[in-house]
Amino acid sequence: MANIFPKWSNTAPIKILICLALTVGTVVAGVTYWATPKYLRVGYQPIQPVAFEHSLHVDQLGMDCLYCHTFVDRSEHSNVPAASTCMNCHSMVKSDSPKLAPIRNSYESGEPVPWVKIHRTPDYVYFNHSVHINRGVSCVHCHGQVNEMEEVYHAKPLSMAFCLECHRNPENFIRPIDEVTNLNFRYDSREEQIEQGTKFVHDWKVNPPQSCSGCHR
């Protein structure tokens, strides 16, 4: 009796199993790498050359974000303050503190303080800080409650889904322009937030892009 199936079909089941195992392994590895907090940097908190305490400077001393991040409302990028900005106060306050030696050295030499970057926008993503700041998106929405952090860490995933949540429903996130850097600002109720947010969306003609080309240019 002639064989119905060719000889190579004898190894087909094992080949199929190997292919399935490789496919499942690739999918699991991809999800583990690209869709977990480790990849999204949530919780990332590097050691900085100077332990700058935001909770002290912002909450206790009342410093506004724009005092240090001076161009965030006018530029695509949020600038890190120069040593001269720090020395406006620290030439008089704790001027001899050994913890501030890197700041004094930077101020005297002109070399920037080697801060470790925490928040990174991928090369394939376009993000403009000033556009968001000037349409009522507060620092806390993307960076978390920075004013309560002793040392800044990566608090939000900043994934595409995270951004689209706001782009699809901006009324849930925007606030009065003069409250953008007030990190303790809260609406009195959810109803007020939606009412005011909807009004701002209408009055300011807020229409965030939801197409790929809006952020991937």
b (16+ CB within 10 A) / e for 29-68: eeeeeeeeeeebbbebeeeeebebebeebbbeeebebeeb
142 is in an annotated binding site: yes
* DSSP element (H, E) containing 15: helix 12-34
* 139 annotated as a binding-site residue: yes
Task: Write the single-letter amino acid at 19.
Answer: C
- Copy the structure tokens of residue 26: 């690739």
Tokens standing for residue 71: 């161009």
**Cβ distance 167 to 208 under 8 Å?**
yes
> Any binding-site annotation on 202?
no
Q: Is 215 annotated as ligand-binding?
A: no
Residue where the block lists tokens 């392994």: 25
Shortest CA distance to 133 belongs to which of 168, 85, 188, 182?
182
First to last CA, the chain: 65
Q: Which residues are annotated as a binding site for heme c?
A: 129, 132, 139, 142-143
Q: Which residues are annotated as a binding site?
A: 129, 132, 139, 142-143
